[in-house]
Structure 1
Amino acid sequence: MYFSRRRSVSQCVLLAEETCRQLRKNMRPLLLGVLGCSLVLAVQGFYSASDDVVELNPSNFNREVIQSDSLWLIEFYAPWCGHCQNLTPDWKKAATALKGIVKVGAIDADQHKSLGGQYGVRGFPTIKIFGANKNKPEDYQGGRSSQAIVEGAMNALRSLVKERLSGKSGGSDYSRQSGGGSKKDVVELTDDNFDKMVLDSGDVWLVEFFAPWCGHCKNLEPEWAAAASAVKEQTKGKVHLGAVDATVHQGLASRYGIRGFPTIKIFRKGEEPEDYQGGRSRSDIIARAMDLFSDNAPPPELLEILSEDILKKTCEDYQLCVIAVLPHILDTGAAGRNGYLEVMMKMAEKYKKKMWGWLWTEAGAQMDLEASLGIGGFGYPAMAAINARKMKFALLRGSFSETGIHEFLRDLSVGRGSTATVGGGALPKINTVEPWDGKDGELPVEDEYDLSDVDLDDDFERDEL
């Protein structure tokens, strides 16, 4: 602002004050806009359009990843997760280094739970490699530095190229026409086979009633096929996806009151069919199918650790195995032990949707296991949860009760809680032991000695001499 030298000092002061007022008035909307943008960016997540990390969500995941020939490294994160926040700069740096070579993506799995559930994400951050078979990604097991991430990506890329050179397609092993799924996994249902396959089955069915001329049905077809393949694998064939051509099998369509296409209904044994109310993407369909599977699945079996095979199979087959070390039977009796086992079975039922493994052993029976988990110093009963893929474990610090165990497992399921490396970096040696017979313990019987033939008086006399 230009000030004339002819103005008095008071005039200059008044003019300056007015100028400041005008500046504040004019700048206020701009400042609010800047603050608003900052708040929006803070809420949106860790990555922006200027980064080389591709932000993924249910609306673009199929197009960007499943139908792509590229190798993808994808981070499933939650905005509140401290480990995820620490990973962000290295993830961005790795994405820039791999630009044009390997795709690097990120999914806010706290917001988009359907995608996280589809790929079995239980903690944050989880990194998966989507390579040759996009429907069966591999867990990334490397370090979290940018250098380690790049090396892991290049190793995966070399493996993919080697597979293609050997004559494999390098893409998904599902049909391209169905967008990453296999039509053979969608069961064709008819007037003749419907009752036997669906109504008389103890399994859960999601059935699509379609018309060949229906545009929405054609759009749903690849999503339905891809979901059918994934659901078949993840539920071990306990949940099925079927399809009925309602223009051919009009008896079925009439029986279930089909008025529009596509219509999806859920069938469970002994219950009236219900309308499917979810989304039409494969991730939505899979998420609903997995919920139905969990609701109808029995609680996981609680196994005593009797051999190395039991520990190895349980911990390697499940993402997490929960292990309790219970007091010796002489310390609790059968009633006390059954009380602890009942608490564990209630927790197994509560967390059955996680599909974890559940094990127990008696204190002192598996000393190498106790040592590898650092259990000895906390007394009994004790509990640990092991991720055998990462060879990490966490210890229950609270009470061995429904409340204490629930808080422990809840924190683990959302990526909280402190973890440590399993001693020796591998599952320990396991002793083969006999199973508990369900009875109270008995003290060992001591041998009785007959002292009638021993002349104690002579011995005492010799001692005195």
Structure 2
Amino acid sequence: MKPLLSGVLLGCSLLVGVQAFYSPSDDVIELNPSNFNKEVIQSDSLWLIEFYAPWCGHCQRLTADWKKAATALKGIVKVGAVDADEHKSLGSQYGISGFPTLKIFGANKNKPEPYQGARTSQAIVDGALNALRALVNGRLSGKSGSSGYSKPHGGSGSKDDVVELTDDNFDKTVLESDDVWFVEFFAPWCGHCKSLEPEWAAAASAIKEQTKGKVHLGAVDATVHQGASSRYGIRGFPTIKIFRKGEEPQDYQGGRTRGDIIERALELFSDNAPAPELSEILNEEVLKKSCEDSQLCIIGILPHILDTGAAGRNGYLDVMAKMADKYKKKSWGWLWGEAGSQMELEASLGIGGFGYPAMAAINTRKMKFALLRGSFSETGIHEFLRELSVGRGSTSTLAAGVIPKIHTVEAWDGKDGQLPEEEEYDLSDVELDEEFPRIEL
């Protein structure tokens, strides 16, 4: 049983691990879309919140100081943390684009301020106490700020981003659209509808920005536009339905906070999103771009063009493209290179002994990798990636613990390869008899 357990642990380490940075025994409060509004937004306390990603090296280094600061500030300032990699919808509300991002939620919870100080425990404590002093002085002067729901980054959270739907425009706007629609059927007198209104408006603004306008939130006054309401059997308010072109409308069964709505919208958006780009390893910058911001980087090393021709190579690339699309929700990087073009990389992965095509999955943060042992096919690659996804499979550490030198090469032109032209030698002037005398038999 020990070898199996070891393999499982190694597999888990390749995927950077799902272990949380903070435990219930710590003084750091773990926050998520379900408890954020109640714990933070509706609180009178000053909050210092870290938005982090488990795979982020800077976040890992901050953990000890963040815990120490939380203990020092216990009972004075609340210190929290959000896994913004897992809860992307919550991170998107506050414009989180890098990790770790630290924000201070003070008097006006609608406008948290960025923490600009050093990342040591002492500096964090000092910054929190300065913010607390400003909060208290503001209350003394009567400038207590407002306490309410946070507005999404980049949007006002107003009704402007909620599309008003009617019996006249419903079919053209929703049913004929190629985009995803969340539609709320409401009644003006409905208390639950009134409670949902600010969450719906805030979610609409965030979703519009995060999906680049590919997912929309709309609202129908069911007491006025009874045609659309009766068509979908609306009997209670608010009722939310999801519309996708060519499919029957689906009842939305999730939570009614903006975080819940955004999270579900982003899930549907990722379902319809294009597959990640499959890039040729042309230089170090290409590899960094695909791998540094990804949990895993999938690299295919394909046979030399003279061995396969354009048709054979395109066949291998098609297989990789299909797998990239299948696993697009993982946000992995996908790369390929020609055998022999990046010899140091191949050597560090131990690829040469298995022939070509070959494939490796690399975690550049842990500097660990796993090799495809099965066939370079949809079935073989799927099994390989599925095993990694559940924490199984054998992994190794990259040679020297670093990414090797990546050479700059020319991009494949999409054509068959050509053998180098051989030089022709004129032997007419060479006296062979003098240097190589004939041998009489």
Q: Normalising to structure 1: TM-score of the pair?
A: 0.63
- Any conservation in 1 of the 2:349–2:398 contact (CA below 8 Å)? no
Q: Which residue of 1 aligns with 2:35?
A: 60
Instruction: State whether residues 326 and 363 of structure 1, in contact with CA within 8 Å, keep that contact through their aligned partners in structure 2.
Output: yes
Q: Retained in 2: the 8 A contact 1:306–1:432?
A: yes
1:394 lines up with 2:394 in the alignment: no
- Which one-letter code corresponds to 1:283 in the other structure? G
Q: Which amino acid aligns with 2:329?
A: K
Count of residues in Structure 1 that have an aligned counterpart in Structure 2: 374
The 3-state SS of whatever aligns with 1:454 is coil
Alignment of structure 1 residues 235-314 onto 2, 5 Å: 235-306=211-282, 310-311=286-287, 313-314=289-290
Instruction: Select which of 186, 193, 198 maps to 1:222.
Output: 198
The change in CA–CA distance for 1:215 and 1:196 in structure 2 (over 3 A counts) is same
Give, in whole Å, the separation in 2 of the partners of 1:365 and 1:159: 56
Is 1:435 matched with 2:412? yes
Structure 1 residue 128, shift from structure 2 partner: 4.6
Q: Could you say which structure has the larger radius of gyration?
A: 1
Alpha-carbon separation, structure 2, partners of 1:348 and 1:159 = 48
Residues 1:71 and 2:30 are matched in the alignment: no
Report if the CA contact (8 A) 1:55-1:106 is conserved: yes
* One-letter amino acid of the counterpart of residue 405, structure 1: F
2:34–2:260 Cα contact (<8 Å) kept: no
Q: SS of 2:425's equivalent?
A: coil
Alpha-carbon distance in structure 2 between the residues aligned to 1:336 and 1:154? 61
CA 1:159 to 1:294, structure 2 compared with 1: closer, same or farther past 3 Å? farther
Q: Aligned letter for 1:377?
A: G
Q: Which residue of 1 aligns with 2:71?
A: 96
**C-alpha distance in 2, partners of 1:446/1:135?**
73
Of all paired residues, the percent bearing the same amino acid is: 61
C-alpha displacement of 1:246: 2.6
Under a length normalisation based on structure 2, what TM-score does the superposition of the two structures give? Answer: 0.66
After superposition, give the CA deviation of every residue in 1:279-306 in whole Å (9 maximum; x if it has no partner): 2222322232122222223433323234
Alignment check: 8 A CA contact 2:30 2:80 kept:
yes
Aligned positions of 1:41-56 closer than 5 A: 46-48=23-25, 51-56=26-31
| 1:131 and 2:106 correspond | no
With over 3 angstroms needed to count, the CA separation of the structure-2 counterparts of 1:445 and 1:254, relative to structure 1, is: same
Aligned equivalents of 1:356, 1:137: Cα separation in 2? 31
**Alignment counterpart, residue 332 of structure 2, candidates 356, 364, 378:** 356
Distance 2:312 2:164 in 1: 53
Root-mean-square deviation over aligned CA pairs? 4.9
2:164 to 188, 196, 213: 188
1:455 equivalenced with 2:431 (yes/no): yes
For 1:81, the equivalent position in structure 2 comes to: none
Q: Which residue of 2 aligns with 1:347?
A: 323
Aligned to 2:384: 405
Quote the offset at 1:327 in angstroms.
3.4
CA separation of 1:452 and 1:306: change in aligned 2, threshold 3 A? same
Higher relative contact order, structure no. (Cα contacts within 8 Å, ≥ 6 residues apart): 2
Shift of 1:424: 7.1
Q: Which residue identity does 1:190 align to in structure 2? A: T
With over 3 angstroms needed to count, the CA separation of the structure-2 counterparts of 1:156 and 1:457, relative to structure 1, is farther
User: Aligned partners of 1:130, 1:241: CA distance in 2, in Å?
Assistant: 30
Check conservation: 1:392, 1:422, Cα contact below 8 A.
no
